[in-house]
Structure 1
Amino acid sequence: MRDVVARHDPASVADEVARRFLERMAEAQARGENPDVALTGGTVARLVHRRIAELAPEHAVDWTRITFWFGDERFVAADSPERNADQARADLLDAVGATRVNEVPASDQAGSAAEAADAYSASLRSEGSGEFDLVMLGMGPDGHVASLFPGAATLTDHDHIAAPVTDSPKPPPERVTLTFDALNRSRAVWFLVTGAEKAAATARAWAFEGTVAETPARGISGPSITWYVDQAAAGLSRSD
């Protein structure tokens, strides 16, 4: 089932997502749960993370009881500002005192992207709950999610939790990504998509017909999928 929440601009999308995220975490913890959450990178994700940090004092969330993961990661040095983990720590995780943060090994911590993927898979097996409470995903103008790109072999990888990417069409070429099988083991998936350059891919992702090979976002399934979009990404004008 897909729900769509449309707001005017990226800032209002970030505010909506941040508020719903904090409410979801507080409610889960009130039920005695310790949620596993997969974060995403990208411009809108950074807006969301910063807004969550700003609103966090207003909500009863114990950040030491949330286990954070990443849907994908660039295989670069640990101190690289390009890493999703580095950005998430700067914008959110360090600010709120998160203690359970599981990062993909960096290029100076693993010999190859394949080794990093294997290590990350092992961490998910040993430290994960077996199911994400929430996965947050961005989407590129080509319809890719995480580092699952159109036409890539990883789109049909059912043997791994995390897989290496060595030929990413956008830099850097080496990455580690969760596979669809891993991403779809989630109670809820939230897409965070803004900008007119995403409108065509959004339309393909929502269409009744189409292929995952052309638009990888179509490969995301699960009991609850919500698209948080601005009017531009939804193909709407400000007057619509």
Structure 2
Amino acid sequence: MSVPTPPVVYSFSDTSKLSDSLAEYILKAQRESIDKRGRFTVAISGGSLPKTLTALISKSGVKWDKWHVFYVDERVVPLDHEDSNHKLAQEALYSKVPIPPGNIHTIDETLLDDLEELSDAYEKELIREFAQKDSARFPVFDLILLGIGPDGHTASLFPGHELLLEHDRWVAPIEDSPKPPPRRVTFTYPVINHATRVAFVATGEGKAQILPNILDTPELGLPAARVRPVAHGQLVWFVDDAASAEVKLQKSEFKL
């Protein structure tokens, strides 16, 4: 059994430098994807991540009309609710850039009362975007952007939860999230791990204790450590020095 290649870890002295470098990384991924397929498919998570993407607003060369944005996970609440990942992204990014509204793929608000149907509908949204263009068993995103929780969870994949073992569904419902709100939908590992690029973003002293358990001892099996892109997928971490203070894994200098 082959040993997974360790992720590339970029650590920055402050979040401003991190955000700017992340924007450059995303721009490079965008250029390569549009050159190959004429589009750029991105999936983002919530939390503080949307604010980290605001450095893109001032960058030239962003082809917003070629972006198709999905959510790695979403809270099952109205899209204008304070807990909605879409609302966070709308306020931090979409409202400030010319991305076509039709290119932002949200959950169906009319299905909030039926978690299974909502999950199935979002999976069908992925099928419409990917199945007719790609022949892979799972969708192949150009880039998936993830955060982590202090318990090592990522997306809505939590330690010890049965969804860690889901291998067939693209999108799965969760009604017992240990972090409120309890009802969510989330991408599964097969979708995350089939991406061409996966980038984690983690900042602040609050992440300093959990990061070594993910990066230095992945054998512990925390949810974030189970993200291992298959084939030639690329896994990178953008962290600040406060978050990576206890990490022993060698850090790399950011270069494109």
TM-score by length of 2: 0.84
Partner of 1:224: 234
Moved more, 34-43 or 142-151: 34-43
2:117 is matched with 115
1:1-240 pair list within 5 angstroms: 1=5, 2-43=7-48, 45-55=49-59, 58-59=60-61, 61-99=62-100, 100-106=103-109, 108-128=110-130, 129=134, 130-212=139-221, 215-222=222-229, 223-235=233-245
Shift in Å, 1:12:
2.1
Residues of 2 paired with 1:149 and 1:19: CA distance? 30
C-alpha distance in structure 1 between counterparts of 2:218 and 2:167, whole Å: 23
Q: String of CA shifts for 1:188-233, please: whole Å, max 9, x gaps.
A: 1000001112122210111245232xx1011101121000000111
User: What is the deviation of 1:177?
Assistant: 0.5
**CA displacement at 1:116 relative to structure 2:** 1.3
C-alpha separation in 1, matches of 2:246 and 2:161? 31
- Give the C-alpha shift of residue 31 in structure 1: 4.1
- Residue 81 of structure 1 deviates from its aligned partner by 2.6
Distance 1:208 1:104, change over 3 A: same
Per-residue Cα deviation, 1:7-32 (whole angstroms, up to 9, x for no partner): 01222211211122123213432445
SS of the residue aligned with 2:95? helix
Task: Give aligned pairs, total.
Answer: 230
Per-residue CA deviation, residues 76-123 of structure 1 (Å, 9 max, x unaligned), is 1122132111211222223222221111223x5332222211111111
Identity fraction in percent: 32
TM normalised by structure 1 equals 0.89
Contact 2:76/2:112 (<8 A) preserved: no
Kept after mapping to 1: 8 A contact 2:86/2:106? yes
Change in 2 beyond 3 A, CA 1:208/1:75: same
Structure 1: tracts of 5 or more residues without a match: none
The answer (yes or no) to whether the contact 1:150–1:216 under 8 Å persists in 2 is: yes
Tell me, which stretches of 5 or more residues in structure 2 are unaligned?
Answer: 248-256
What RMSD in Å do the two structures reach over aligned CA positions? 1.8
Match of 2:88, SS state, is: helix
Is the deviation greater in 21-30 or in 223-232?
21-30
Distance 1:174 1:209, change over 3 A: closer
| Alpha-carbon distance, 1:141 to partner | 0.6
Superimposed CA distance per residue, residues 49-78 of structure 1 (whole angstroms, 9 cap, x where no aligned partner): 2211232xx22x321211111100011112
